[in-house]
Structure 1
Amino acid sequence: MARTRAPDFEDRQRQILRAAAVLFAEHGYNETLLDDIAERCGTKKSSLYHYYPSKDAILHELIAWKISDLTAKVEAAVEPMASPRARLDALATTLVEEYIRTPQEITVLLTQTRHLSVVALRDTAAIQNRIIDLVVGLLSELRPELTIPRRKSTVVAMLFFGMTNWIHVWYKPAGSIGPAELASMIVNVFLDGFVNQPASLLG
């Protein structure tokens, strides 16, 4: 007979993932042991196996969970907005707020994917592509007079993400610029460059 899951099973999984995120971000994946994760969770290593079969599984679930959560929040923020500019504003604001709120999880997402298996990489990339595709679609709406090849629109989208991906490393929440203002600055700088690019460069 299969073992019945405890009512707090998913909560305990999230606790493990958050503990692992802190350790992976601070020490790296290879340097972190299951014993370290268990100690941070206040439990024994043997208890972790009830939730995840291995450290590899924890990393995969952590990255997949973070990408899925981020994607869902971005899509929810963007969906009610009427114009492409408003949608890009909402997207940038959501990214900035989430990156500042969960810096360790974002650090793992940006630096530790190289430790995933080929299958895990493919699975997580499929989720991540939803956000990339969203920005690529917005680029087409912002320059409707152009037919931008996918390879170039993807490059431009990645330039946008390059402005947001590392803010959690240097941004100080206690400083004079709030997250919403920072997001607006990112969009303004990005759009002023993108909308003024000559068609010959984008076509």
Structure 2
Amino acid sequence: MARPQALDYEDRKRAILKNAAILFAKKGYSETLLEDIAEISGIKKSSLYHYHRSKHAILHGLIAWKIEDLAWKVEAATEALRAPEQQLRALIATLVKEYIRVPEEITVLLTQTRYLTKPALRSVGEIQERIIRRAVVIIQDLRPDQEISRHKLKALSMMLFGMTNWIHVWFKPNGQMDADTLVDMILQIFLKGIDGLDPDFLN
């Protein structure tokens, strides 16, 4: 008979992912042992297998969950807005504030995907595309006067993400600049930059 799942099974499973993120971000995936994850989670190593079948499964689960979480939050923040400028600000704000809130999880997302198998990479890539597609649509809507080529829309989207991806490394939440000010700086730099692009360049 299969072992029944506890009522808080999903919460415990998610807590293990969050604990693993702390270790993966600090020590790296290859240097982190299952024993380490079990210890920080307050359970025995054997109990880990009730929630995750391997260390790779933990890494895959963590990255897939975090990207899915980001995609859902970006979609929820932008769907209710009509103006593309408002949508862009909502997208940027969602990423910036989430990156600042959970820097360990974002560090793993940005630095540890190389340890995923090819099938795992494909699966998380499909989720990631949801965020990229959302950015592509918003950026095109910023320039309704111009049909921007697909590959340049993708490049512009990746440039936007490049402005946000490493904020969690250098931004100080208790420093002289708050998150909203940072969001507005990124927004203005991107808006003014894309508005000034020569139409001939966008084809």
Give the structure-2-normalised TM-score.
Answer: 0.98
Structure 1 distance, partners of 2:139, 2:89, is: 13
Post-superposition Cα deviations, 1:138-163, rounded to whole Å, max 9, x if no partner, equal 11111112221111110010000000
Q: What is the Cα-based RMSD across aligned positions, in Å?
A: 0.8
Q: Which residue does the alignment assign to 1:45? A: 45
* Number of equivalences: 203
Task: Give the corresponding residue for 1:56.
Answer: 56
Corresponding position of 2:73: 73
- Tell me if 1:141 matches 2:130: no
Question: Which stretches of structure 1, 4 residues or more, deviate above 3 A after TM superposition?
Answer: none
Letter in 1 for 2:67: I
Q: Which runs of 5+ in 2 are unaligned?
A: none
Q: Where does residue 177 of structure 2 map in the other structure?
A: 177
Cα displacement string for residues 43-72 of structure 1 (whole angstroms, at most 9, x for unaligned residues) = 111010000000000000000000001111
| 2:83 equivalent in structure 1 | 83
Structure 1 regions of 5+ residues with no counterpart?
none
Classify the secondary structure of the residue corresponding to 2:173.
coil
1:168-196 CA distance string (max 9 Å, x none): 00000001211111111101111111110
How far apart in 1 are the matches of 2:145 and 2:103? 38
State the identity as a percent. 56
Of 174-183 and 161-170, the range deviating more from structure 2: 174-183
In 1, Cα distance between the equivalents of 2:55 and 2:174? Answer: 35
Q: Does 1:190 align with 2:198?
A: no
Query: Distance in 2 between the 1:45 and 1:2 partners?
Result: 19
Q: Where does residue 108 of structure 2 map in the other structure?
A: 108
Deviations along 1:85-132, whole A, 9 cap, x unmatched?
000011111111100000000000000111111111011000010110
Deviation at 1:2, TM superposition (A): 2.6
Offset of residue 84 of structure 1: 0.3
Which amino acid is 1:77 matched to? A
**CA distance in 1: counterparts of 2:24 and 2:160, whole angstroms:** 26
Alpha-carbon distance, 1:3 to partner: 2.2
Q: Which moved more, 1:87-96 or 1:142-151?
A: 142-151
